[in-house]
Amino acid sequence: MRDFTLDTYRRLLQTLLDQGYTFYTFEQYLRQRPQEGRFVILRHDVDLLPVNSLRTAQLEYRLGIRASYYFRIVPESNHPVIIRSIAALGHEIGYHYEDLSITDGDITAAEMHFRQKLDYFRTYYPVVTVCMHGAPTSPYDSRDLWKHYDYHDYGLLGEPYFDVDFSCLCYLTDTGRCWDGYRVSVRDRIPEHQDRWIAQGWSYHHTDDIIRAAQAHTLPDQLMMTTHPQRWTDRLGPWTRELLVQNAKNIVKRLLINQRKA
């Protein structure tokens, strides 16, 4: 059975629902701050192919699940009709910011760009959360903007990399087109907790590994889960293309990581 299909994604969500997991958008999580029980903070980074995000949003809607969708400002992600359609389904919309990369590290220009684009996305949804786009080929980490400014001053509740206590929950992301892609992730990782999660057996490669862990009650009770909907499709041609492209990207990212370590 192929991984990263919409059918596989549906099975993942249905299994989690069957095992008693409650789903939260990131905004809901920050407002409610649940402490007990099984839950998933469900987040999507819309890097490319926004139509795929509409399909996952529709699937989630049919299951009674709301999620957070973070859109980049670039044309590959920023599609007004799709943003409105996803918001109309009850999902949260956020800004997937990469302002330091766009402005070549100019802090002042990045702050102005961030403020303007946040206002733009607020024409679709009352945005109260944002999330950094990793931009692996860029030398700039856009989270560094917050060494000079405070994102709360923009009416924001939070940013996942700063406002989640990962000592209390596990982070799963499909970065690298697998669920243990932290080895090839330049920025979408939580290095201070990764070794502990691996030691506890909370490391999964395939989506079916997560499904089996949930059914066996070995999956952590509290999760933040991030997907990139561009990867999830039932169409063989796009599915194969994404597989080949991501394999090539992983090689490049490994080289970048090794180069930066050196």
Would the pLDDT of 73 be above 60?
yes
Would the pLDDT of 25 be above 90?
yes
What span, in angstroms and rounded, lies between the C-alpha atoms of 42 and 187? 19
Q: How large is the average pLDDT for residues 140-151?
A: 97
Q: How large is the average pLDDT for residues 3-19?
A: 98
In angstroms, what CA-CA distances link 110 with 103, 126, 258?
6, 21, 28
When comparing pLDDT for 155 and 255, which is higher? 155
* 258: confidence class by pLDDT, cuts 50, 70, 90: low
Q: Model confidence over 198-248: pLDDT tens digits?
A: 889 999 999 999 999 999 999 999 999 999 999 999 988 888 888 888 777
* 186: confidence class by pLDDT, cuts 50, 70, 90: low
Instruction: Answer whether 92's CB lies under 8 Å from 67's CB.
Output: yes
Taking alpha carbons only, the member of 192, 170, 147, 129 closest to residue 40 is 170
- Which DSSP string do the residues of 47-106 spell out, in sequence order? -S-HHHHHHHHHHHHHTT---EEEE-SSTTT--HHHHHHHHHTT-EEEEEE-HHHHTTT-
Within 10 A of 82 (CB to CB), how many other CB atoms are there? 20
pTM for the full model? Answer: 0.93
In angstroms, what CA-CA distances link 4 with 68, 153, 242?
19, 38, 10
Mean confidence (pLDDT) of the chain: 92
Instruction: Kindly state the percentage of the chain with pLDDT values over 90.
Output: 77
Set out the domains of the chain in order of their start, with CATH numbers.
6-261 (3.20.20)
* 136: confidence class by pLDDT, cuts 50, 70, 90: confident
